[in-house]
Amino acid sequence: MNTIKNECTAEIVVKKSKFIANTFQVNTKEEAEEKINEIRKKYYDAKHNCYGYIVENIEKSSDDGEPSKTAGAPILDILKKKNLQNVLVIITRYFGGILLGTGGLVRAYSQAAQEALEMSEVTTKIKGEKYTIFINYEDQKDVLYWCKKMNIKVIETNYNNDVELQLESTKEAREKLFDNVNKIKNYIINEDNIYIET
């Protein structure tokens, strides 16, 4: 899955109308809706806050008062053309007093989305898991060796009665770790539906 790493803002002016495009990497529909509400509050005085997003194969767009299919659909089109997932683009328009017509609106919203996404760094992510394992102190070196070998990311280490390692990897890498290391006393799956960078 291709997604973006960073949030970006691009601004274009077309016949005195100002278009401000904001891009976000979002993992859930709820996260996308939160960002939309934040932008609506930030640009509360704008005439339109149009958006498009693709999250977990859910596609949604809004023209927010613009003529039908002149804002949200073009934004969604750009996301599809760039083959991006888990990305939200919101474009705020401050009306400049000159009507752009439907073709002009489609071009303006497409251009604003394109420019903001070109500024965003694209990364590839795959489905993964976040989990915690518990091991003896003397086994830590061996376990960390296997984590490094299998590209398993160590997020956090806590030292209590046991060494507690919070890890992030694909399900396959976790299973391979467990096959190779029989010193794991216990484990907890914290999240089994996250996206991790490859």
Pair (116, 150) in one structural domain:
no
In this prediction, residue 87 carries a pLDDT of 96
Whole-number Cα distances in Å, 123 to 126, 130, 131? 10, 19, 23
In this prediction, residue 95 carries a pLDDT of 94
Pair (18, 114) in one structural domain:
yes
| Segments in the chain below pLDDT 50 | none
Pair (165, 93) in one structural domain:
no
The CATH number of the domain where 182 resides is what? 3.30.70.1150
In this prediction, residue 73 carries a pLDDT of 96
In this prediction, residue 126 carries a pLDDT of 84
Pair (48, 99) in one structural domain:
yes
Pair (27, 90) in one structural domain:
yes
In this prediction, residue 67 carries a pLDDT of 95
Q: Given 120, 142, 165, which residue is the final one in a domain?
A: 120
The residue to which tokens 């992510």 are assigned? 125
Residues 140, 143, 148, 149, CA torsion sign: positive
What is the number of structural domains in the chain? 2
Pair (46, 86) in one structural domain:
yes
pLDDT tens across 28-75, in order?
999 999 999 999 999 999 989 999 999 988 999 999 999 999 999 999
In this prediction, residue 19 carries a pLDDT of 97
Pair (90, 25) in one structural domain:
yes
Q: Given 120, 150, 168, which residue is the final one in a domain?
A: 120
In this prediction, residue 94 carries a pLDDT of 96
| Structural domain boundaries, residue 180 | 127-197
Rounded CA gap, 181 and 133, in Å?
A: 11
In this prediction, residue 100 carries a pLDDT of 94
The residue to which tokens 């394992």 are assigned? 133
Pair (23, 86) in one structural domain:
yes
In this prediction, residue 60 carries a pLDDT of 96
In this prediction, residue 181 carries a pLDDT of 84
Q: Given 87, 120, 153, which residue is the final one in a domain?
A: 120
φ and ψ of 98, to 5 deg: -115, 125
Pair (136, 114) in one structural domain:
no
Pair (27, 113) in one structural domain:
yes
